[in-house]
Structure 1
Amino acid sequence: MALKSIILLCCFIVAAHATDTPRSVVKVTKCEHQQIDIRCGNKEINILYARYGSPIGGDCGSPHVYGKPTRGCESAKSLQVVRKECQGKKDCWVKAKNSVFGDPCVGVFKSLTIHYACVDYEIVGACEGKQIDIRCGAGKTINVLYAIYGANFGSLCTNSFDPWKPICSARRSFDVVRNQCQGKRNCWVKAKNNVFDRNCRGSSALQVEYRCVRGTIVFACENKQVDIRCPSGTTINILSAFYGRNNQQGCRNPVQQTRFGLTLRNECSATNALSVAKSNCNGKHNCWIKAHDSIFNIPCQRGPSKHLEVEYECRKH
């Protein structure tokens, strides 16, 4: 009896942890025959989780077949269908219908649940053996924010994700992609075990988050500093600046695996990052800025490591 209680307690703790999502994640559920509409304005849709099947937690009533309770069921292609309709778009809609997802349990009234975020970066993915291709327009270069190669993390190319199994990933994922792509106009990376020195059970995948930027990016982890230098005849012009925690992977920011994929914990940003960078550097030939809380208006002094990222260009006099 005691062992059973311990097992139940462990399951409860894992389930509670698995539903921990950041405030930026939007969760919406509609009953069968209804429709979910997603709008992100000027940002793009990033689908984190999708489930079409028997209702959970009282959504749309209790699941039943001919008046008798039934166990949970869900369409195996839920995530695949929703990402095909919505991923990377500014707005989309998806109907909660068997004709869209198939019928995972005949006779059961079902619901569709989607968890998504509106993001200002690009996401590309490739299944094992394929490759990602990243291309930026004229005058812009690639800034790699995050990369993961492995299995069981809810990638863009596969629907295989088990919240009860640990994620398998290559430690060098970010370094490999950054070495091949950072600062270039275009690049490609193969999703292969020999590229990332990692072999996981099951189908592996590569997923990369990036931005196309028009300036040069400098980066420093907390308590370090960025040094900016422009050649003779030019001066510094700051384009953007960030200090805090976001989805940038360079300083091992805390990413956790949840039922909805990979999400960042303890996200925060300084409100005066751009003004600090401009006042220290604009119009000069060279400058430096320390990544330290005493310099920035930061709402999260405690917690995991933060970083400073500055985008700039060198302008002719």
Structure 2
Amino acid sequence: MSHWSLTTDFCRTMLRLSTTLVLAATCLLLSKGVATEMVVTCDVNRVHRLSCDTGVISVQTALYGRADSETCGEGRPPSELGNTECSQEGTADVLKRRCDGKKVCEVSGNDFGTPDPCVDTFKYLQTKYTCLPAIHHVTCEHSWAYLDCDEGQVISIYGATYGRNDHTTCTYRQPASQIQNIDCSQPASGVSTSCNGKNSCIVKVDSSMFEDPCVGTYKYLEVAYICEYPSTIPKESANHQSQGSPQPGSSKSMLSFTLSTTLLLAATCSRMTAVVSAERVITCSGGGNVQHLSCDSGVISVQGALYGRTDKKTCSKGTPRRQLANTKCSQKGTLDVLKSRCNGKTECELNLKVVLTSDPCRGISKYLDTNYTCFPANHIVACENSLAHLQCDEGQVIFVYGADYGRRDQTTCTFSQRASVIKNDACSNPTSKVADSCNGKNSCTIRASNSVFGDPCVGTYKYLEVAYICEYPGVIPQQLPKH
């Protein structure tokens, strides 16, 4: 079984051993400012992936070209590495437009390179970005979005959009015709109206709640918000209520982040003191619907999952009463499916067809109801032929809990990739090589490639997935239990 299988016993052990340190390290990191991340992709035909464990992406700099003779220089002749003053104009603008305000963003190196800034020089794409503090939620169409704050705090929406602006979000096993339109997204001001000032809020995600910006496209709701104490809601947030919420990534949205950094940091650390946050997603019946689980901080640990029906109210709109009658309907094995698919990831998507192995109650309208927690850990993904950078604060060292190389879904590292190279999602091997290379170091760079990890599935485009924490030297937690 993969290192990613987080059992209850392991969670309890890990919480006892380093909860205080994880929280202290995280809040220490936040108190110093916003951490800078870097992604380098060597092969322009591959996927360049940015992601934030906490908050949303804000691109700082981006380079397509070459700035030194070492980066991505393995196996290349000196003649292709000599020009170290090679850069294409406008690269940062492209990355900002595509990625700012998102939790995860994938682009293809093929989006760059025209015109070629330096013919005959081997180029790479390098992006430096920060993760601005915010809670980020993505909910696929025909699901319910649950926004929640700690006791005594209230929701303040910074931005919400409904539609589609990429080929990867909420796409698991969706027909190509329903995800090809990525210029389909508009502000969803109704979220601010419904949720601002409340401790928790539930929003139905479909075109009856929001105006349909693109009929025939499978859409999703994307929300960025913070939790604040009622007396400290910033004026900027109040302006958003009256003017409508800006799109995540817009200048107005980014400005709001800078206006209340201190408050955001306090809210983030306050929220983290609960250690493990409980989340819930309900996706209504329909074999083509997608359930999306995500963690703003840490990794997913599924606690409970039900496919069936336990009440007459959930997912009942427009459904005949006879299809709601059986409230003791559940399919066996649903929890196991969710655990194997999602545990250890920061985001997980699955089509409801995955759990439709049998019909537990014919003639009854069913739904998938998943409860999960977000377990404290740093999580990074590096697409094949990119460099994974693990980084801790000064004085701290890396401790790797688990790493896998391969592919276990059809959404990660897929942008502009052929269907034939991403269809095998049962191809992932645990590896100890990341721990061997990085444990005990303050920072570590490792290449996600077959030459380092071997090839678990020839012909499949793969990625490296790592979960790690930062510890002070001498305080080493127990190893991940073997299964």
TM-score by length of 1: 0.38
Bigger fraction of residues in helix:
2
Bigger fraction of residues in strand:
1
